[in-house]
Chain A
């Protein structure tokens, strides 16, 4: 059974703070993803990675960066948090070359004050 975990369920940060969200998967999946989920907008892709040290921008990368130093771990970094980054952040992983099922973490609800 695939398990994807995220470092925090809830976070409250202040504007300008640097924020780290961490995701770990235990199924040796090649691909990992970060999405943000906002009401009425579905899931929007921020960044993804298909291999260690590889990263690709998604649809809304502005204000975010990522790091993948190990296959099982994918970190999302908000360099200087802003109030418009208040959202639910979901990590996901999948195997193979794409067009496969994604397995999601429980999500991190981030509030930026």
Chain B
């Protein structure tokens, strides 16, 4: 079946450093790749997404890169701040309305 692997499961960085989270998927037909952020006790919310016709997308301190050939996409957070501490999920929507989520990465930003 379709699979999404997300790494690392936990990431601890110093405030101001960069953080990178990677997801690898298996469905060749996937063409939309969102990232969700879930702060403690809150709902997951979309923070950035990318469609397969581009290789990179940026929104201020966050960016997503996509390598369709290798079937992986990554979330990059630069100049991390304590409020970036959260669980981040990648997702791969499949055909037929289903979406597979990665297992999540818990990011700690130390002040």
Contacts and interface: CB of A to CB of B under 8 A. Distances in A.
Given A56-B97, A99-B95, A104-B43, A43 B32 contact: no
B44 A100 contact: no
Given A48-B98, A101-B46, 19 more contacts: A4-B43, A35-B101, A40-B104, A41-B103, A42-B103, A42-B104, A48-B97, A94-B97, A97-B97, A98-B94, A98-B96, A98-B98, A101-B34, A102-B46, A102-B91, A102-B99, A104-B36, A104-B43, A106-B43
B67 interface: no
B103 A98 contact: no
B46 A106 contact: no
Contact of A40 (B9, B32, B97): B9
A41 B103 CA distance: 5
Nearest to A102: B99
A101 B49 contact: yes
A40 B45 contact: no
Interface in A1-57: 4, 31, 33, 35, 40-43, 45, 48, 50, 56
Contact-size category for B: 20 to 34
A98 B93 contact: yes
Contacts of A101: 34, 46, 49
Contacts, number: 58
**Which of B34, B42, B98 has the most chain A CB atoms closer than 10 A to its own CB?**
B98
A31 B89 contact: no
A107 B43 contact: yes
A53 B35 CA distance: 30
A100 B32 CA distance: 8
A103 B43 CA distance: 9
A41 to B, nearest CB: 6
Nearest to A44: B101
A97 B9 CA distance: 31
B89 A42 contact: yes
A58 interface: yes
Contacts of A107: 43
Nearest to B6: A42
